[in-house]
Amino acid sequence: MQENFRQFLDRLRQTGELVDLHQPVDIRHIATLVDQAKTALFFHKVIGYDVPVVSGIIRSRERAMMGLGAETYREIEDRLSAAIAKPIPPKYVKTSPTREVVMTGDDVDLYKLPIPMSSIYDGGPMITAGVVIARDPELGINSGIYRFIVKEKNLTGIDIVTPNNMRLFAQRALERKEPLPISISIGTHPIEITGSGYRAPLGVDEMAIAGGLRGMPVELAPCSTIDIPYIADAEIVLEGEILPTGWTWPEGRFGEFTRLMGGLHWNPLVRIKAVSMRKDAIYYNLHMPWENTWLAAPTRYAAIRQALRTAGVQVKDINVTLGGCAFWHAVISIRKQPGEAKNALLAALSVMDLKHVVVVDDDIDVFDPMGVEWAIATRVQGDKDVMIISNARAKPLDPSLLQGAGIVPTGAKVGIDATIPDGIPKEHYERITYAYADTAKIDDYVNGKKDEAGKSADDAEVAALAKEILAAIEKAPLYYTDIAEKFSDYNFRTVARAIGHLHATEKLWQDPRGRMCVRGSQFAASPPKKA
């Protein structure tokens, strides 16, 4: 996919997924307007700024799919998995239109950029869509998206409280007492956002994963004040350094992917050394939380599926639920072999910071919450099927954990095996179904369909019919419904009287599955033995 950021905006516009607002708009109103809009919004005249703002471009499932060029939401995950398996390294180019305007030194002024506030208690204007690239002398290149709150015209914080690779890079630089140079590319295509939002293992270049998603290399160009590349297609690039201040500066609060206001974080500071941008640059404001959710969710799907594949589990479906913030909950259906549900739980719970996983059989639709709850209700014994692992790696943003300066909390992981327990007879799980479901259709009856009356019979004929029924069940046991159908020349009442006659004459019994059979025959169930 060759499409760049601007071409994606055009495609949204052409399909009615982006609305242009040409009138002056106060930047303080942007967050709520985007929240209320069904489309992405392009603010051409933001009062007090020369640069326009676009926001909400991947704020729905459909727009996330459009961003990745996918026909279905699941396809995003498949394409991401393929990209992880076959990354395409970036191509380095000498320069790009992003360098049409360059400000360095004292000319750096973040207040010239239309950086909106996001949620109500935010600690200031917040850069939400910056793809950050950094290099560690030993661990190589890393990219990710981390938010920055503007503190001074050339100073921000960087929100790296979560124990991720960028935090590790910053920690290692701090131990060396050195700043960590970073480029921050703002206004990049959803493919680059998705690639960088994937939490790749150390040493894996997320821009190569973005290349895998594109099917062609992502172009990177060199910054001017630091030896780090930026995304060549970006609208705006900040060149900066994470200062070796450690996690000592209060920052926030932040509106989080949890749909909650996060608390105050303790973060390092970032000095911005240069700002470069296109001469007609567009500022992309990623709107929290849904723009994050729709693009981050496929990364969880891909990671869970990969862990289950490694564990050799046959997966039917996965639902990383929206109720679980597309992050903490997964429901997984599997084609079960004995013990496999527990293996599936162990594998899935090892992924990222997933907290709660339910594994169900493949007859359960993981996207139907009632069906999943039904499986939990009917297939789980809490003492055998619930596993709790304490003190695992957790997301510090989990509001149910202790938070604060210097605290890197651990948390519990819970797995629920809601598959049919091994060794329980299948009959325990025969669902209620209705005879004649294929032939007796409600629409026909509403339109006046009539059934045939069927014969009735006097007592002598009932006794004769009973004999015929007896002959039938002597050969093989039959369900009551089968008898009623087999002798449907008679009306139901007559058949019921005939079966009643067999009962009264002590000919009738039932087999272990409840079918009618002849009393004392090889098929007949015997009563439970007295203890």
Ligand X SMILES: Cc1cc2nc3c(=O)[nH]c(=O)nc-3n(C[C@H](O)[C@H](O)[C@H](O)COP(=O)(O)O)c2cc1C
**Where along the sequence are the contacts to ligand X (CB under 6 A)?**
142, 144-147, 159-160, 162, 164-166, 197-199, 286, 292, 295-296
Least distance from ligand X to the Cβ atom of residue 217, Å: 19
Spell out the residues 6+ positions from residue 432 whose beta carbon is closer than 8 angstroms to its own. Answer: none
Least distance from ligand X to the Cβ atom of residue 70, Å: 17
Distance (Å, rounded) from C-alpha 249 to C-alpha 157? 8
Q: What is the DSSP string of 145-183?
A: E--EEEEETTEEE----S-SHHHHHHHHHHHTT--EEEE
SS3 110: helix
Please say which residue, 146 or 490, places its beta carbon nearer to ligand X: 146
Least distance from ligand X to the Cβ atom of residue 142, Å: 5
* Residue among 213, 278, 269 nearest 245 (CA): 269
Spell out the residues 6+ positions from residue 42 whose beta carbon is closer than 8 angstroms to its own. Answer: 9, 13, 18, 19, 20, 21, 52, 53, 54, 282
Asked if 389 and 403 count as a contact pair (C-beta separation under 8 A), the reply is: no
Least distance from ligand X to the Cβ atom of residue 160, Å: 5
Please say which residue, 142 or 319, places its beta carbon nearer to ligand X: 142
Least distance from ligand X to the Cβ atom of residue 84, Å: 12
Spell out the residues 6+ positions from residue 311 whose beta carbon is closer than 8 angstroms to its own. Answer: 343, 344, 346, 347
Please say which residue, 45 or 61, places its beta carbon nearer to ligand X: 61
Please say which residue, 198 or 487, places its beta carbon nearer to ligand X: 198
Please say which residue, 272 or 420, places its beta carbon nearer to ligand X: 272
Least distance from ligand X to the Cβ atom of residue 129, Å: 7
Least distance from ligand X to the Cβ atom of residue 420, Å: 36
Distance (Å, rounded) from C-alpha 40 to C-alpha 364? 36
Asked if 498 and 461 count as a contact pair (C-beta separation under 8 A), the reply is: no
Distance (Å, rounded) from C-alpha 324 to C-alpha 317? 17
- Which two three-digit tokens encode residue 85? 């398996």
Least distance from ligand X to the Cβ atom of residue 200, Å: 6
H/E stretch holding 35 reads: helix 30-36
H/E stretch holding 421 reads: none
- Which two three-digit tokens encode residue 497? 């009287």
Please say which residue, 294 or 490, places its beta carbon nearer to ligand X: 294
Please say which residue, 246 or 454, places its beta carbon nearer to ligand X: 246
Please say which residue, 195 or 415, places its beta carbon nearer to ligand X: 195
Least distance from ligand X to the Cβ atom of residue 195, Å: 9
Least distance from ligand X to the Cβ atom of residue 220, Å: 16
Least distance from ligand X to the Cβ atom of residue 208, Å: 13
- Which two three-digit tokens encode residue 500? 């009643």
Please say which residue, 145 or 270, places its beta carbon nearer to ligand X: 145
Sign of the C-alpha dihedral computed for residues 377, 378, 382 and 385 taken in this order: negative
Please say which residue, 144 or 411, places its beta carbon nearer to ligand X: 144
What's the chain's Rg over C-alpha atoms?
Answer: 32
Continuous H helices in 353-422: 369-379, 382-385
- Please state whether the peptide bond connecting residue 338 to the residue before it is cis, i.e. omega within 30 degrees of 0: no
Please say which residue, 286 or 341, places its beta carbon nearer to ligand X: 286
Distance (Å, rounded) from C-alpha 386 to C-alpha 443? 45
Asked if 261 and 120 count as a contact pair (C-beta separation under 8 A), the reply is: yes
